[in-house]
Amino acid sequence: MRKWHRWLSVFFGVFMLWIAVTGVLSQVAVLWPSGAPDPAAQAAATPPPGFECPEGWRCLPPRGDTSGIRSMVGTFHHLHSGETFGPIGTTISVLSGLALVFFSISGIWLYVQMWRFRSDRKLAPRWFWK
């Protein structure tokens, strides 16, 4: 198990780093403060032509702020999911997700094996080894 864990981590480590960075960037872009007007000004704005708000609903106009880093959300999502690189990118993204599941399970498995080995040798129980 340790051999597989080591060899797969060499290959998938690069892709998982890519997925982690683009995922963080997509969230930062969404949470980035915008220069949108205050809610009272948005409520006073007129709806787009042809739009009718259903009766009993309070409708706000769509957010008009698509400048700056917020305009990159779609790009970050496509990079994150691998869609930018076509079917091969999507396949690598899915395989990287499956590899992450494998690393989680095999890492726990390896830790339990080390824990048992340590207790079988009657060594002091510790959470982490030096």
pTM of structure: 0.56
Q: Is 18 a member of any domain? A: yes
Q: In a 10 Å sphere around its CB, with 0-12 CB exposed, 13-18 middle and 19+ buried, how is residue 22 labelled?
A: buried
Rounded to whole angstroms, the Cα distance separating 17 from 22 reads 9
Tens of pLDDT, residue by residue, the chain (130 residues): 777 777 777 778 888 888 888 888 888 877 777 665 555 555 555 666 777 777 887 776 555 556 677 778 888 888 888 888 999 988 998 998 898 888 888 888 888 888 788 878 877 766 665 5
Per-residue pLDDT at 122? 77
129 falls within a domain = no
The residue range of the domain holding 113 is: 2-120
At residue 104, the pLDDT reads: 86
56 occurs within a structural domain: yes
Q: Is residue 20 part of a domain?
A: yes
In a domain, 29, yes or no: yes
C-alpha span between 78 and 18 (Å, rounded): 12
Q: How many domains, in total, are found in the chain?
A: 1
Q: Is residue 101 part of a domain?
A: yes
- What pLDDT score was predicted for residue 88? 93
Confirm whether 28 is domain-assigned: yes
In the numeric block, which tokens belong to residue 79? 């990079």
